[in-house]
Chain A
Amino acid sequence: MTLLRSDLRDTALPSPAHLLRRQIRYELRAHWRSRSLVALELALPLALLLIMGSLLRNAPGGPLGDRYPDVFVPNMVALGLVTTCFAGLGIEAAYLRLTGAGKRLRGTPLPGWVPLTALVAQSLVVGTLAAVLLALAGALVLGVALPAAAPFLVATAVGGTSFAALGVLVSTLVPRVESAPAVTNLVLWPLAVLSGVFTAVPTGSLMYRIAMVLPLRHLMDAMNDAFGGRGFEWGGLAVVAAWGVGAATLTAARRPGRT
């Protein structure tokens, strides 16, 4: 058995870019095997989309569409993206911080920023996949037109990244591993109802005014514009991006160094 060999020590460390790609690959592999996360991020939004969309297939859609599914499907696409990039990532980032997994990785030559960056990248991949899957399900089952590609992809990228930043921020507030799903879902579902994912919130109401300050309503509007062929909703996306930048700034300020 060869344990210590000076000639082996001369070998260079793997590059950070290579390590990041590798870490993302393993994170994705581990993620697909986590039944609870796949159920939360893909099965639950898909089931909600199909059940509510079918039940209210012929209900009026309000100002944004003719039928309820025309509005509900873009809303659910936004929610599916947020479920993955905010709630799913928040849970995984809390696990990384609270289980000692992050500490073990910090004891290796892996650059400190790689594990969290890989988790964020993984959530963006899965979130985009969830958004595409929900859009396809809406088209195939509920007859909702597919979105215009560019506005859809821009909304997905801005929304996914910003909500990922929010997910990481919320993960720093989780006190114990066991409470990570509760904390993230406690933020997500009231936000979804308040923002009018399932049913329209009357314009001008207090709930509406609160929702207009929060990012999900604006992401839903951007998705609705993408699905309705109205192009980019830059103003709303700017609000979503501002939330993301704010969350990233706060997380950086809270980020614990050595204790």
Chain B
Amino acid sequence: MDVIEVNDLRRAYGRTRALDGVDLAVQAGTAVAVLGPNGAGKSTLIEILEGHRSRDGGTVRVLGRDPERGTRAWRDRLGIVLQESRLVSELTARELLDLYAGYYAAPRPVPEVLAETGLVGRADRRPEQMSGGERRRLELALAIVGRPELLFLDEPTASFDPEARRRTWELVAGLQDAGITVVLTTHDLEEAAALADRIVVLAEGRVVADASPPALRAAAGPPVVRFRVPVGVAPPPLRVALDRHADGTLSAAVPQPTDLLRTLCTWEEESGHRLSELSVTCPTLEDAYFELIR
């Protein structure tokens, strides 16, 4: 079942087309990361899905409803971590969670949420007495206290240190395991690969890729085998075309690098020459991403 269905979504600011015919479907229980450079339309898309922003055209259904006509019962099923917001600084984390829990029909116990977000030791501190990472975790705690079915995370680990980021990933993975659908935006490709079943890349208001992280990585091209032959020695005879680089190394892009490696090893043994600087490099998600948004 699709939790989110978006067809031909359009939104402009003046003459700038922030979203220009976006299609998107998100199945229940999956995690989708929306990536794209600044100004690609990520935040506009998320805010339209959350019901915070209107659209110019197209159809949008989130949990079976048009977000522009979202009811209280509909919002009861959502959890939202905004990209930027300031928490009321005069209430403690525990009080804020207690306050927010009271908005929902079937909230989770506050101590359970504090424990899950690693805030037990900070429960009686106000947001202004917390670090940036702790405040962000508190925002995540506020988003999950209502027992959401669908969770929107707008750059959830921005300003986190590596340990806090890793803990948040584990937390989000736990939420996914419990069946919560997650839609997140991030600039962090490692985060997208770690958390998402699918990555949607937006560029200039259009979806330019929608695939799983491995499929996206594969779209950037095959692995590259690179090596150097001794000076004055002819390169091994191969069935694939070799590229010669300025530093004297040779390379070939091959879908199955093991075949080429086997051939090179055999050549070494038979010719008595040694290959140096032998490496196999797989294209990264970052390579694929930059290829897409170029």
Contact = CB atoms under 8 A, between A and B. Distances in A.
B102 A19 contact: yes
B75 A107 contact: yes
Interface stretch (A108-116, A180-188, A189-197): A108-116
Interface stretch (A26-34, A54-62, A212-220): A26-34
A205 interface: no
Interface residues of B, number: 40
A26 B91 contact: yes
Interface in A60-103: 95, 99-101, 103
A100 to B, nearest CB: 3
A214 B142 CA distance: 44
A3 B86 CA distance: 27
B105 A29 contact: no
B82 A13 contact: no
Nearest to B143: A107
A1 B68 contact: no
Contact of A108 (B88, B103, B149): B103
Kindly state the interface size class of chain A when it binds its partner. Answer: 35 or more
Main secondary structure of the interface of B (DSSP, over half): loop
A88 B146 CA distance: 31
B180 A103 contact: no
Nearest to A110: B103
Interface string A154-175: 0000000000000000000000
B106 interface: yes
Contacts of A253: none
Interface stretch (A4-12, A131-139, A233-241, A242-250): A4-12
A103 B90 contact: no
Given A103-B52, A107-B82, 20 more contacts: A3-B180, A4-B147, A8-B105, A13-B104, A14-B105, A22-B99, A22-B102, A26-B95, A29-B90, A101-B86, A103-B85, A104-B80, A104-B85, A104-B142, A107-B75, A108-B75, A108-B104, A258-B54, A258-B68, A259-B53
Interface of B: 50-54, 68, 72-73, 75-76, 78, 80, 82, 84-88, 90-91, 95, 99-100, 102-106, 108, 112, 116, 142, 146-147, 149, 174-175, 178-180
26 contacts: A1-B178, A3-B178, A3-B180, A4-B147, A5-B106, A8-B106, A12-B105, A13-B72, A19-B102, A22-B99, A22-B102, A26-B91, A26-B95, A29-B90, A33-B90, A33-B91, A99-B86, A100-B84, A101-B87, A106-B52, A107-B80, A108-B103, A108-B146, A109-B75, A109-B146, A258-B52
